[in-house]
Amino acid sequence: MKRSIALLLAVLVISCGGGGDSAGSGGTGGSPGGAGSDAGDTTPAVAGTRIEESNAAVTLSSGWTNADTRYAWSGDAAVQSDVAGATASFTFTGTSVRWLGSLGRKMGRARVRVDGGPARTVDLYALPNDEIRTPVMTISDLSDGPHTLTIEVVYGVVVLDAFDVQPQTTVSHWQDTDPNAKFSAGWTKASTALPWSGSGVQNPPELAVTAQETYTQDETATLPFRGTAIGWIGYRGPDGGIALVQVDGGAPVEVDTYAPTAKFQAEVFTAAGLADADHTLKITATGRRNAASSAPRIVVDAFDVMTPGRRYEDNDPSIAKSAGAPEAPPHWNRNINRVWTEGKAATSNQTGATLTFSFTGTSVSWIGCRKSSAGGSANVYIDGVLVRQVKLSQSYPIEGYQMTIFRADGLANGPHTLMIEVTSTNNGPYVVVDAFDVHP
């Protein structure tokens, strides 16, 4: 069975490009003089497709320029604007749409409308360094038909990278510090001066999240995960080396990370078409390099894990949070200090605080965090019945973000509630509720 999966992966693996210097130029989606790579892309914007900013379905007003070319954007390019009132419109057919852009300390705010309806304001500011190819906003429950999504710049920088039309999977972005990621002894922490995923914030004396790198043959990094696809987020550059990648012990796939110019947060390998089951990704540095490369450097920055289902963010109307007593600290706050899903998470360190998610389905996951400052404890209830006591503590340098803290399968197909009750001591380590995933 594993060998069959490996053969399938050899076909489905994408060793993403990123070796060029250019983010493209010319018109984008019919915009007059707009930025972006005008590749004449006319891929239909229908369910299950990723549509780049260069697609004919995207129309930009004036005021958009090429995004930072240090980053390995989806499709190798993205556009950005800091001009108040600049707009981008995307026409698609489907019941949901996901906007991929950038979240970080340089980002601003945008208004989003569907079919000219009421505006939703999206705050793109977060304290970590800018994250790329990241889900900024997902709009669901649309009628099954044609729609137009309009993004309007309010202030600051707004990035348009791509759109996923009617996505069938959720995306969890795991850092190299994830508790499940295991590195052999020859990996070292990459420089904090570079724009790695998750970097730029820390709890002193702890160091900021960066990436792991090695130049040494046979050093390995392994990650167990559950999902139908996985992406290794790393680096391409003039000193990039060659690695071998395996899924479930299958045939090794050679990945060359050389590029003429440095590209950060690059998706250097993707395996798709996996069964929705447990898998293991293994990366092995070969110590070899492209003839044009100056070194055999291999970098592991993060991982994107895709799982079938729909994600509900911590501020979704289906989630109810306890408020706390008058004049006492609030039970729940929103946090922008780390790489959370869509940029924000709910946090509490108040004993007895509760958060209840109402959903319909047979399987649900709590997406949260495990680290020293988010190492509280909680009870988990399904339909009012205690099913799990969770302790989240992890010691530095382990920091797990967008993790599946709890998953329940095999529920009756109907309405349910999942309640999280904080049990740790007041004002101690936090409990983080980043999102919930409902699986088919």
Residues 319 and 364 in one domain: yes
Q: How far apart are CA 296 and CA 216, in angstroms?
A: 8
**Digit-coded pLDDT (tens) for 422-434:** 999 999 999 999 9
Indicate the DSSP class of residue 74.
Answer: G
**pLDDT value, residue 30:** 38
**pLDDT value, residue 91:** 98
| Residue 65 main-chain phi, psi, to 5 deg | -135, 170
| Residue 10 main-chain phi, psi, to 5 deg | -60, -30
Q: Is residue 23 part of a domain?
A: no
pLDDT over 50 at 207, yes or no: yes
pLDDT band at 327 (very low <50, low <70, confident <90, very high): confident
**165, 197, 225 — which closes off a domain?**
165
- The separation between CA 29 and the C-alpha centre of its own chain, rounded to angstroms, equals 26
Residues 248 and 326 in one domain: no
**pLDDT value, residue 361:** 97
Mean pLDDT of the chain: 92
Q: Residues of the chain with pLDDT > 70: what percent?
A: 91
Residues 199 and 81 in one domain: no
312-346 burial, b if ≥16 CB within 10 A, otherwise e? bbbeeeebebbeeeeeeeebbeebbebbbbbbbbb
**Could you give the number of structural domains in the chain?**
3
CATH number of the domain encompassing residue 336: 2.60.120.260
Q: Average pLDDT of 391-403?
A: 97
Q: How far apart are CA 382 and CA 384, in angstroms?
A: 5
Q: 366 is written with which tokens? A: 């709590």
Q: Is residue 25 part of a domain?
A: no
Q: Average pLDDT of 140-149?
A: 98
Residues 255 and 324 in one domain: no
Residues 294 and 359 in one domain: no
Q: How far apart are CA 152 and CA 134, in angstroms?
A: 18
**Digit-coded pLDDT (tens) for 72-89:** 999 999 999 999 999 999
pLDDT over 80 at 359, yes or no: yes
372-403 burial, b if ≥16 CB within 10 A, otherwise e? bbbbbbbebbbeeeeeeebebebeeebbbbbb
Residues 366 and 393 in one domain: yes
**Digit-coded pLDDT (tens) for 21-70:** 333 333 333 333 344 444 469 999 999 999 999 999 999 999 999 999 99
Q: How far apart are CA 365 and CA 396, in angstroms?
A: 25
**pLDDT value, residue 146:** 98
Q: Is residue 26 part of a domain?
A: no
Q: Pick 40 or 398 by higher pLDDT.
A: 398
Q: Is residue 358 part of a domain?
A: yes
Q: Residues of the chain with pLDDT > 90: what percent?
A: 90
pLDDT over 60 at 316, yes or no: yes
Neighbours of 254 (CB within 10 A): 11
**Digit-coded pLDDT (tens) for 111-129:** 999 999 999 999 999 999 9
Residues 197 and 292 in one domain: yes
| Residue 74 main-chain phi, psi, to 5 deg | -60, 130
Domain that holds residue 55: 50-165
**pLDDT value, residue 27:** 34
pLDDT over 70 at 5, yes or no: no
